[in-house]
Amino acid sequence: MLENIFSFLKFTFSRDKAFCLCIKNIVGFFPNNVEYYRKALIHRSASIVNSKGKIINNERLEYLGDAVLGLIVGDLLFRKFPDTDEGFLTQTRSKIVNRNTLYELTKQLEIQHLIKVSADQSISKKNIYGDALEAFIGAVYLDLGFQKTYKFVEEVIINKHLNLDKLIDSNSNYKSLLVEWAQKYKKQVNTYTEPEYEGSKYFVSVIRVEEQNIGEGMALSKKEAEQKAAKEALDYIKNNFTLS
């Protein structure tokens, strides 16, 4: 409570209320030290040199934010999906922290308008935005601590601006791809999924084409087991079937 009052008083007497309010609207908290955020939004192409000759840009904060974001997302997924294996968790975390997702999140958070960058058209916006968001998270961590950074990532980034279920299914719905292949080439595909053994927490899925087993997957959920089997089946098809 006292911390919130202190932050509000700093905002009240700040010389740049507009910028502070921008940060508050994005994060949900008033900043204590706005200089962290200013630095987080300076792309290396727009680096400045301070009075001591030190180059100022967001590269170090990007490094820190990347590590903090990875830890928080990893922890969130570990708690949200207690019955999934390491492969699922790694793949899902990768989808959240990759440049395409960070690029879209930066726009949804409206951080892109605050980024300082050179006018060089050869610079990829995806990299600029992704780097800036990671640096911004690094700034939140240094300014407000891990607990509030965790809350920002969970409540604002994940819950408010990211459709996690859609993201998990994107580009990895191997069952749908397999059905498309079967329809196109008029093949009969059968999927058999059952517990590994009576009382087991694991499911085993087998995919059969023309009475031949071409894919198998095992996971803690039926859906994931079938996706793994479908992926293996697609790999088999790619290497063994003549698609003509």
Radius of gyration of the chain (CA): 24
Determine whether 66 is an active site residue: yes
Which among 134, 143, 224, 226 is annotated as catalytic?
A: 134
Cα distance between residue 174 and residue 223, in whole Å: 11
Pairing mode, strands 55-56 and 189-195: unpaired
Quick one: tokens of 78?
Answer: 């570990």
Which among 66, 131, 143, 224 is annotated as catalytic?
A: 66
Which helix (H) or strand (E) segment holds residue 101: the answer is: helix 99-108
Amino acid letter at 117? V
Which own/partner contact pairs does 111-114 have at CB distance under 8 Å and 24+ positions apart? 111/26, 111/41, 111/136, 114/22, 114/41
Which residue numbers are catalytic? 66, 134
